[in-house]
A and B are shown apart, each in its own frame.
Chain A
């Protein structure tokens, strides 16, 4: 069997472990919550003529509120999924996958691919909710640049996913994974509520990036977070290899 065929089988099986009852319920609740919030911030109850008369104001307001909300929700979702997936209760399932050095590499690569696929799925749902609401609202206008915001949100999510999995691998406690959420929260609060970034906030954002505004732009650029993601992937691999245990 070729490596691609085998890897696809591994990914499919990983997804069986990822799509547990707990995770699926969490996913549903989260998206229902997100949809309800979108309806709430759409100001739909202000009346169709009012919305039509002040289109730019309502659109900007909706976009601001929506992206402010999903920046919190998406990262929290990722940390939760990470804890549930890399946590101790799931560690035992590697036993049927790893039978030599080659299958060990395939196991870990496919495990990361499957979790990246899963967080991509959630991003797609968030995008779908956004797009549906925008399409239905009288002031709705979809800008292609919004896709860029979702891509950057995915990069931000990937960063915190990789960071929390490293912390979980090192400290072997769920609490460690929460640390990355705490730092994200600090970055979020300091950069959202300060008009001028102080030196300490800049340092904080250097190590714990946060996407500003509707564009989800990073003060050190997209390349910075891409580079971080790459470093974190390598660190994950290094820790798994050095630890020598599955």
Chain B
């Protein structure tokens, strides 16, 4: 198991957001968690990452890389510097420059390698966000609304990368149009409970 969650509960004030979630994410599995806005999808990720307090038990095996939604990057960092900084915070990456160039090429983003983050559009910042998470050495990859703001070709590039990736990948999204049912175990978060809807065969 990559991540094992047992009876996870979280409430903000008097409002219970997560009401006893128990789920196991297996090694190399690809998961898509869907649900309405504000239902607690990001809260689930933040609990897994120990960013918030919670009740219950979460066991993670190995390191986790993460692409949060709408991340606040420092405006005076270049794309190169930001990706290098955030993807190597806890572990250095072998042949980083080569791997980065390949990804920038794939996302049609090479011309922005030395652009300042403050000068980028929302979609371009999202590319930086997704690339840093993808490059971070980890056993599990968590992506929060990764397709948000990306252009069609970048969305396809990312989904192809995920498909080929050997790690456990967990995505949360409220739009499912671009995800193929056959590639993901689909779970739905509704009323604080997580239910498996369809499984990869």
Contact = CB atoms under 8 A, between A and B. Distances in A.
Given A1-B90, A21-B76, A100-B60, A95 B85 contact: no
A6 interface: yes
B166 to A, nearest CB: 19
A244 B52 contact: yes
Nearest to B49: A99
Interface in A88-119: 89-90, 92-101, 103-104
Interface stretch (A12-20, A137-145, A220-228): A12-20
Contacts, number: 78
A104 to B, nearest CB: 6
A39 B65 CA distance: 53
Interface residues of A, number: 29
A172 interface: no
Q: Which 7 A-B pairs have the closest CB atoms?
A: A244-B53, A16-B74, A95-B68, A92-B72, A246-B51, A93-B72, A99-B64
A13 B60 CA distance: 26
A77 to B, nearest CB: 21
B197 interface: no
A118 to B, nearest CB: 14
B132 A96 contact: yes
B56 interface: no
Contacts of B60: 100
16 contacts: A1-B88, A6-B89, A9-B85, A13-B74, A13-B89, A16-B74, A16-B77, A17-B74, A20-B74, A93-B71, A94-B51, A96-B68, A100-B50, A101-B50, A244-B52, A244-B53
A90 B77 contact: no
A94 B74 CA distance: 12
Contacts of A100: 49-50, 60, 63-64
A187 B147 CA distance: 54
Nearest to B63: A99
B89 A95 contact: no
A245 B63 contact: no
Looking at chain B's contact residues, the main secondary structure is loop
A98 B89 contact: no
A8 B50 CA distance: 22
B76 A16 contact: yes
A95 B71 contact: yes
A93 B90 CA distance: 16
**B: interface residue count bin:** 20 to 34
Interface string B27-71: 000000000000000000010011111100000100111101011
Interface string A1-45: 100001001101100110111000000000000000000000000
A98 B48 CA distance: 10
Nearest to A17: B74
Interface of B: 46, 49-54, 60, 63-66, 68, 70-72, 74-77, 85-86, 88-92, 132
A98 B132 CA distance: 15
Nearest to B64: A99
Given A1-B90, A20-B75, A93-B72, A245 B66 contact: no
A131 B52 CA distance: 47
A3 B60 CA distance: 20
Given A13-B86, A13-B89, A98-B50, 18 more contacts: A9-B89, A12-B85, A16-B74, A16-B76, A20-B76, A89-B72, A92-B68, A95-B46, A95-B66, A95-B68, A97-B89, A98-B51, A99-B49, A99-B64, A99-B90, A100-B63, A243-B53, A244-B54
Nearest to A12: B85
Nearest to A97: B89
A104 B51 contact: yes
A58 to B, nearest CB: 43
B190 to A, nearest CB: 24
A43 B86 CA distance: 51
Interface string A160-189: 000000000000000000000000000000
Contacts of A9: 85, 88-89
